[in-house]
Structure 1
Amino acid sequence: MTHTFFVTGTNTEVGKTYVSAALLQAAAARGLQTAAVKPVASGCELTEEGLRNSDALTLQQAMTLDLPYQQVNPVALEPAIAPHIAAMEARKNLDAGRLAGVCRGVMSSAADFVVIEGAGGWRVPLGPRTMLSDLPRTLQLPVILVVGMELGCINHALLTAEAIRRDGLQLAGWVGNFVREAGMARAEENLGTLRALLPAPCLGVLPFDEQADYRNAAALLDLSPLLPAADQPEAE
């Protein structure tokens, strides 16, 4: 059985790729075959092989299956701006249904654990009448929320959780990620509030890591709330 999760964030630059790669690493450590999709990525670099996005390349490195870049990142946009604006400038039509088709292809592969990483926060436009949140709605995916631990994160996290539930999806878990080297005032109190108010288990809290090494972060994540007992490692 393939377990697929959509990863979103309370905002942009909260560490979605860092957490997504850590989730893949943690699943691989359990002996699961893993794969990932970054359906839409802006801020891509033009290379000899075409446009490449650093986040998508990180996911490609972190997963165990060998998939072509175009399957990991089907829509690559060069300017580091809002995806719908970048797509409009590139004369591309972003369609949630087509993106869902690419995701289904990966979901039907040999992977046991699949991560589909969003862009920005939950309500990111793809076009005049389409949101990126339409993608997980189309696929009916459980959602993992990355909370950037900084001032204002409680409001952002609760509003995002509310939007996810109103869209008819399950918030499967959340990860607190410290995005500033200086930390956050009253960090433990804020984490306690999030644990009390968010309607999902905390999968882990990641301290600030200047290197953003997802391999170290993986050891701090608990995947047991995401996987049925049959997929849990046996106790030694």
Structure 2
Amino acid sequence: MDGYFITGTDTGVGKTLVATGLLAAANEQGLRTVGIKPVAAGCFSAKTDSGSTLINADALALQSAASIAIDYRQVNPVALEEPIAPHIAAANSGIHMSAGELVQHCRRVTADSQAQFVIVEGAGGWLVPLNKTETMADFCTELGFPVIIVVGMRLGCLNHTLLTVQAVRAAGLSIAGWVANCIEPDMTALADNLQSLQDLLSLPALGVVPYLGAMATADQAAKYLQFDLLTRVIT
């Protein structure tokens, strides 16, 4: 089983688009795939057979992009209604999150589904708090998956990317590579920034996703991702 943790240089940089794109690319290879979003804020209420429940658009996208059909709560065990920092939203809802419990959930889903390729998407950036003492980095360190960094291409991305790389390495985790996601239709000096990332990172560039707009799909993103490079790097 190959598993990867998707983090981003900030919130709103396109982690889900890249995550679903990777799932779509793995599906093309005939792999059994699962996507997990352990924590999601900004959820909305939806009616199900068992009553009303909170669901999240990003988690739904992961569920839809995976080749293995699993229950929504397996994809997203912690769904928070307020679109704010997860640990604050959880505290406001009387929910306690711990890195260990979330890791156990991911391992259980991975084992039960018999997936060959697993994507676990974080919430926000690398150091988003889970509670008063733990961050998303603690979760990822215990999970142990190689990290893929999604770089939101906008002013400040070089600093944000270098800080993220430094923090991931300080945690002792391997970085499988990075993906540049163009989140603005006309970023100034885009080519120069991409070249700077290539020069500064010395890490595999797994793709450059152009600006695809709000209705971008997993299949569209997959066209710009070098899935074969990812598998060569890790295996």
Normalised by the length of structure 1, the TM-score is 0.94
The alignment status of 1:18 with 2:20, answered yes or no, reads: no
CA deviations over 1:25-68 (Å, ceiling 9, x no partner) = 01111111110110000000011130010000000000000110
CA drift at 1:212: 1.6
Which residue is equivalent to 2:166?
A: 162
The alignment status of 1:32 with 2:31, answered yes or no, reads: yes
Displacement over 6 Å in runs of 4+: none
CA drift at 1:229: 9.0
Contact 2:176 2:233 in 1 (8 A): no
Contact 2:32 2:117 in 1 (8 A): yes
Which residue is equivalent to 1:176?
A: 180
SS at match of 1:36: strand
Contact 1:83 1:126 in 2 (8 A): yes
CA drift at 1:199: 3.5
Contact 2:176 2:234 in 1 (8 A): no
Q: What is the number of equivalent residue pairs in this alignment?
A: 229
Which residue is equivalent to 1:227?
A: 231
SS at match of 2:136: coil
The alignment status of 1:91 with 2:100, answered yes or no, reads: no
Contact 1:34 1:113 in 2 (8 A): yes
Q: Which runs of 5+ in 2 are unaligned?
A: none
Contact 2:14 2:150 in 1 (8 A): yes
Normalised by the length of structure 2, the TM-score is 0.94
Contact 2:23 2:119 in 1 (8 A): yes
Q: What CA distance in whole angstroms lies between the structure 1 residues aligned with 2:129 and 2:176?
A: 23
SS at match of 1:120: strand
The one-letter code matched in structure 2 to 1:8 is: T
CA RMSD of aligned residues (A): 1.4
Q: Which runs of 5+ in 1 are unaligned?
A: 232-236
Q: What CA distance in whole angstroms lies between the structure 1 residues aligned with 2:90 and 2:60?
A: 20
Q: What CA distance in whole angstroms lies between the structure 1 residues aligned with 2:159 and 2:116?
A: 34
Which residue is equivalent to 1:234?
A: none
CA drift at 1:170: 0.7
The one-letter code matched in structure 1 to 2:153 is: M
Identity %: 47
Which residue is equivalent to 1:186?
A: 189
Contact 1:171 1:199 in 2 (8 A): no
The alignment status of 1:115 with 2:119, answered yes or no, reads: yes
Q: What CA distance in whole angstroms lies between the structure 2 residues aligned with 1:229 and 1:152?
A: 28
Q: What CA distance in whole angstroms lies between the structure 1 residues aligned with 2:115 and 2:205?
A: 24
CA drift at 1:225: 3.0
